[in-house]
Amino acid sequence: MKEKQPIGIEELLANLRHQKGYTYLEVATKLNDRSITEKTVKKWEKGLIYPDLTIIYQLSELYLVSSEEFLQAKQVSFTQGFNSIHLEGIKWICYFLDITLKASIIMTYTILFLLLLVSFLAFTFLCSQVNKSML
């Protein structure tokens, strides 16, 4: 049997919110903390910021999930973040475009590939122009 991969706190929070059918605003309201807005909840789910311990306890009560599970997921997120330095930029893309991390990574690599292709085509065009001018 395949072992279940640990998930980060971003994915855990998004999954729990979707399971309950809550919006970002509903989660922020239910946490009853004026410093937490729907943007804050969205940033948690995109991994741009992480909830502190007090908020984790409130999230635990809201979603009926142990605080330990949230803390383990937060540790997974930190580990993944340290292993991938470019992930921070990709998370900001997720936040601004409101897309998943996987979609953002695919989009980022597609854009990089297209830029590389255009650069290569421009280089070959310039080389052919130089060769023509030398003749």
- pLDDT tens digits, 48-83: 888 999 999 999 999 999 999 999 999 888 787 655
Per the CB < 8 A criterion, the answer to whether 102 and 84 are in contact is: no
H-type alpha helices, 36-100 = 38-46, 53-63, 67-83, 87-97
Domain borders along the chain are 1-90, 99-135
Please give the CATH architecture assigned to the domain spanning 1-90.
Orthogonal Bundle (1.10)
Other beta carbons less than 10 A from residue 51's beta carbon = 20
Nearest CA-CA partner of 46 in 2, 86, 11, 80: 11
Residue 126 above 60 pLDDT?
yes
The reported pLDDT for the residue numbered 46 is 86
Tokens of 129: 């122009």
Residue 102 above 80 pLDDT?
no
